[in-house]
């Protein structure tokens, strides 16, 4: 009886083992089969790339607009976009307004130098001119103009140009001014021509009666007007003769007599 029971137990155990092995084999087959379609899909995705549809040309789209290139030879002539260069101050003085500013150049000690001018109109005196506003300060009266060096004491300057009007005729004024200067200077009176104002009288007071060079020099211009005259006197130190003396001469060349 015990022997039978032991044999039965072994049979049952063998049956369970077979069932277990059968179950494992079935699961392995299921896993293998389910993996094949996935691999096939992956391979298919790698070997068969998606076809990109070609873009068809739409004949209804407008042609792109072509921008013409400018011809250097005709640019400015046809369009008029290139501004005309500003002419020399003397040619435009008649059209400038009092206080109008512009740039030009002068020769100073043999070298060109940029100058920033301000235009001056004085209707009482009857003149207009241009002065270098970076180097001079303008002081105006009803019948006078004064341009003082910005490097000087404004209340006691050494270098300045003063202009005033007198009803005295130019010959009489020149004679009286030369006589007044003769006390301290060997005043040399001569006929002179300014660039814009034309004929005038100039008095050079650059030496003493005994031939020495004084500390302060003067150059006087007497410009005849329709009635009376304008008297312009440049005051400058001997050491500034090549600097301020030359700048004052440049200012005087811009002076124009206004037509009445």
What band does 13 get if pLDDT is binned at 50, 70 and 90? confident
HSE-CB for 221 with a 13 A CA cutoff: 25
Name which residue leads in pLDDT, 90 or 169. 169
For residue 234, give every residue at least 6 positions away whose Cβ sits within 8 Å of its Cβ, in sequence order, or none.
160, 161, 218, 219, 220, 244, 245, 248, 249, 252
For residue 135 the two structure tokens come to: 């180097």
pLDDT in the model for residue 109: 75
Phi, psi of 167 (to 5 degrees): -75, -10
Mean pLDDT confidence for 130-140? 97
Mean pLDDT confidence for 23-30? 49
What band does 260 get if pLDDT is binned at 50, 70 and 90? low
Contact in structure between 202 and 193 (CB atoms under 8 Å) = no
Mean pLDDT confidence for 119-129? 96
Lowest-pLDDT range of 92-96, 179-183, 232-236, 248-252: 92-96
Mean pLDDT confidence for 121-146? 96
Element (H, E) at 249: helix 244-254
pLDDT in the model for residue 234: 98
Let me know how long the chain is.
260
Is CATH 3.40.1000.10 the right assignment for the domain spanning 89-257? yes
Largest CA distance in the chain: 173
What band does 24 get if pLDDT is binned at 50, 70 and 90? low
pLDDT in the model for residue 144: 97
Sort 158 into a burial class: Cβ within 10 Å, 0-12 / 13-18 / 19+: middle
Contact in structure between 164 and 230 (CB atoms under 8 Å) = yes
For residue 32 the two structure tokens come to: 């293998």
82-91, long-range: CB within 8 Å, 24+ apart, which pairs?
89/117, 89/130, 89/254, 90/195, 90/196, 90/253, 90/254, 90/256
Residue 228 DSSP code: S
In whole angstroms, what is the distance from residue 230 CA to residue 129 CA? 13
pLDDT in the model for residue 161: 98
Q: pTM of this prediction?
A: 0.64
For residue 225, give every residue at least 6 positions away whose Cβ sits within 8 Å of its Cβ, in sequence order, or none.
125, 126, 165, 170, 257
Q: Which residue has the tokens 């050491």?
A: 239
For residue 133 the two structure tokens come to: 């506003």
> What percent of the chain is modeled with pLDDT above 70?
65
Helix (H, G, I), strand (E, B) or coil at 125: coil
Q: 228 vs 24, 118, 189, 232, 236, CA distance in Å? A: 135, 26, 19, 13, 26
Contact in structure between 89 and 103 (CB atoms under 8 Å) = no
Helix (H, G, I), strand (E, B) or coil at 95: helix
Average pLDDT, the chain: 78
């Amino acid at each position: 009886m015990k022997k039978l029971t032991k044999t039965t137990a072994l049979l049952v155990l063998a049956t369970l083992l077979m069932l277990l092995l059968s179950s494992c084999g079935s699961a392995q087959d299921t896993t293998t089969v389910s993996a094949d379609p996935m691999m096939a899909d992956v391979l298919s995705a790698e070997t068969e790339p998606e076809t990109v549809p070609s873009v068809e040309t739409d004949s209804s789209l407008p042609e792109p607009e072509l921008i013409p290139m400018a011809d250097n030879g005709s640019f400015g002539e046809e369009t008029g976009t290139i501004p005309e260069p500003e002419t020399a101050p003397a040619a435009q003085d008649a059209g400038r307004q009092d206080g109008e500013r512009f740039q030009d150049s002068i020769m100073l000690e043999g070298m060109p130098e940029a100058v920033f001018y301000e235009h001056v109109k004085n209707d009482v005196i009857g003149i207009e001119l241009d002065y270098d506003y970076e180097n001079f300060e303008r002081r105006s009266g009803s019948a006078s103009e004064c341009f003082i060096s910005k490097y000087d004491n404004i209340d006691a300057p050494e270098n300045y140009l003063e202009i005033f009007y007198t009803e005295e005729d130019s010959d009489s004024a020149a004679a009286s001014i030369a006589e007044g200067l003769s006390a301290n200077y060997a005043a040399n009176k001569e006929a002179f021509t300014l660039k814009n104002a034309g004929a005038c009288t100039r008095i050079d007071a650059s030496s003493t009666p005994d031939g020495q060079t004084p500390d302060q020099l003067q150059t006087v211009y007497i410009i005849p007007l329709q009635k009376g005259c304008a008297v312009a006197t440049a005051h400058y130190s001997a050491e500034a003769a090549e600097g301020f003396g030359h700048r004052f001469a440049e200012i005087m060349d811009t002076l124009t007599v206004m037509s009445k």
